[in-house]
Structure 1
Amino acid sequence: MFLKGITLQKEKISSYQSYPFSIPVIKSLVQLHINSNVTFFVGENGSGKSTLLEAIADKCGFHTAGGGRNNAYHVDASESPLADYIRLSWLPKVTNGFFLRAETFYQFASHIDQVGANAAYGGMSLHHQSHGESFLSLFQHRFHKKAVYLLDEPEAALSPQRQLAFLRILHNLTEDGNSQFIIATHSPILLGFPEATIFSFDNSNIHEVAYEDTDHYQITRGFLENRERFLYEIFKEDDE
């Protein structure tokens, strides 16, 4: 484990009325301690998990639309407004790593085609593979040990079966402590990774939760065990 903590430098903030400081979890953040090789950020859309992950990526020197320290290409609105206000604590510091941003992966794949770097991703254009295959090609060929990987909703392109394949990749890269992952996700499958730390961004502050206490687990389990009741309650609300 390399990245040990994230501190919000409140002395630099002049107002909490505008984005991103108006986000409740950002407003309440003082310091977040990272204690696992695999850390998950969970929460509702707009809760701030991707905003913080993007700021970490920017502070690491990774391209905030997706990539590592050596990827340079332009994507509108990819800058992080929070990066200048956080401080990262390392022991030891590493410079290798990657930031995956699912929503701008297409632009990243185009960049790889333009610079002719497909050999580093399995030898085939990421655009010539299905969305899920291209994600797995990235994980299998670009991810190596002694690095920090920041992933924003990697499950967006992965079927349940491919999410299980990704868990195996995650295990292989982290079992000896030489890779670190921080992942923002909505996937109850990914959240089941053993001995991971899960931070919830709901309820206006960042707090650690057990896997079984996440909404992702409880809602998914409840739906699978009581599908007809869940659907009845949802549709009943529409009829009222």
Structure 2
Amino acid sequence: MHGSPFLTHLSLHHDRVQPDQHPFTIPLIENGLSLSFTTPVTFLVGENGSGKSTVLEALAWATGFGMYGGSRDHQFVSGDEGHALGRALQLTWRQRVTDGFFLRAETFHQFSSHLIDLESTFARYGGRSLHEQSHGEAFLSLFENRFEDGLYILDEPEAALSPQRQLAFMQILHSLAGQGIAQFIIATHSPMLLCLPGARVLELEDGNVTEVSYRETEHYRLSRDFLNDPDRYLRHLLADDAS
């Protein structure tokens, strides 16, 4: 995977931090949020509550996307007054880009509904309403037809993808990142996606950020060990407490 990322660093304007106010009380942010991006694809991993989604939503807002998903042209939530963390972010760019997309898996259905009112845009999403496709088909249609050049901020893109479609998505990531025309910052729980060659994995744990290999992540280790010997895990997980 070749190419340099457009966005190279994310940190805080300390004079814009609001102590004792959410989300500034999340340990990752309270500890002085600082993330560096050195490769075209960066994965953020960590348990629920580690701050992954909060940071991505703020980054999306700070770069001009709707904080609930979409592109600069398709912000489907009106009256959005902004985002406290987004206003506090300090972004360092090698090359400022305006194209891209923010995928927020849990509000993707609302985004798909928004497109129904903009029928002329269906061509950019495969020519069909995303509601006429299965959830997984709609996600992959978005990736195949809408992802080109720019910055892509993705929160759990694997949510609707079968293992086979996760592999197809990896091909898209590899192709676009390899051409040097796109940068991806992705929060994920998928051990398959983490294996993408050339990607950087940042683990968020206890408010700290550590670069790790995919083999060092709990996502990979637990999945590998479970699939190697599911009976060993199931004996403990499904044991009858009364026995």
TM class by smaller structure = over 0.9
Structure 2 Cα separation of the partners of residues 65 and 75 of structure 1:
11
Q: For 2:49, which of 33, 46, 55 is the aligned residue?
A: 46
Unaligned runs of at least 5 residues, structure 1:
none
- In the other structure, the counterpart of 2:35 is 32
Cα pair distance change 1:27/1:114, threshold 3 Å = same
Q: For 2:23, which of 14, 20, 25 is the aligned residue?
A: 20
Are the equivalent residues in 2 in contact too, given 1:29–1:206 (CA < 8 A)?
A: no
Q: For 2:143, which of 139, 143, 159 is the aligned residue?
A: 139
Structure 1 Cα separation of the partners of residues 48 and 81 of structure 2:
18
Letter in 1 for 2:17: I
- In the other structure, the counterpart of 1:98 is 101
1:110 aligns with 2:113: yes
Structure 1 Cα separation of the partners of residues 81 and 159 of structure 2:
19
Structure 2 Cα separation of the partners of residues 44 and 25 of structure 1:
12
Alignment of 1:1-240 (within 5 A): 1-15=5-19, 17-74=20-77, 80-116=83-119, 117-145=121-149, 147-236=150-239
Structure 2 Cα separation of the partners of residues 73 and 196 of structure 1:
31
Shift, 1:238, TM fit: 5.2
Shift, 1:210, TM fit: 1.1
Cα pair distance change 1:121/1:184, threshold 3 Å = same
Query: Residue 117 of structure 2 aligns to a residue in which SS?
Result: helix
Are the equivalent residues in 2 in contact too, given 1:99–1:150 (CA < 8 A)?
A: yes
The more displaced of 205-214 and 69-78 is 69-78
What is the count of residue pairs matched by the alignment? Answer: 238
Structure 1 Cα separation of the partners of residues 168 and 204 of structure 2:
27
Are the equivalent residues in 1 in contact too, given 2:50–2:204 (CA < 8 A)?
A: yes
Shift, 1:82, TM fit: 1.1
Query: Residue 206 of structure 1 aligns to a residue in which SS?
Result: strand
TM-score, structure 1 length as denominator?
A: 0.94
Are the equivalent residues in 2 in contact too, given 1:47–1:202 (CA < 8 A)?
A: yes
Shift, 1:62, TM fit: 0.6
TM-score, structure 2 length as denominator?
A: 0.93
Letter in 2 for 1:123: G
Query: Residue 20 of structure 1 aligns to a residue in which SS?
Result: coil
Structure 2 Cα separation of the partners of residues 18 and 74 of structure 1:
24
Structure 2 Cα separation of the partners of residues 162 and 6 of structure 1:
31
Are the equivalent residues in 1 in contact too, given 2:65–2:75 (CA < 8 A)?
A: no
**Identity of counterpart residues, as a percentage?**
49
Shift, 1:140, TM fit: 0.8
Query: Residue 82 of structure 1 aligns to a residue in which SS?
Result: helix
Shift, 1:239, TM fit: 5.5
Unaligned runs of at least 5 residues, structure 2:
none
The more displaced of 22-31 and 54-63 is 22-31
Structure 2 Cα separation of the partners of residues 192 and 172 of structure 1:
15
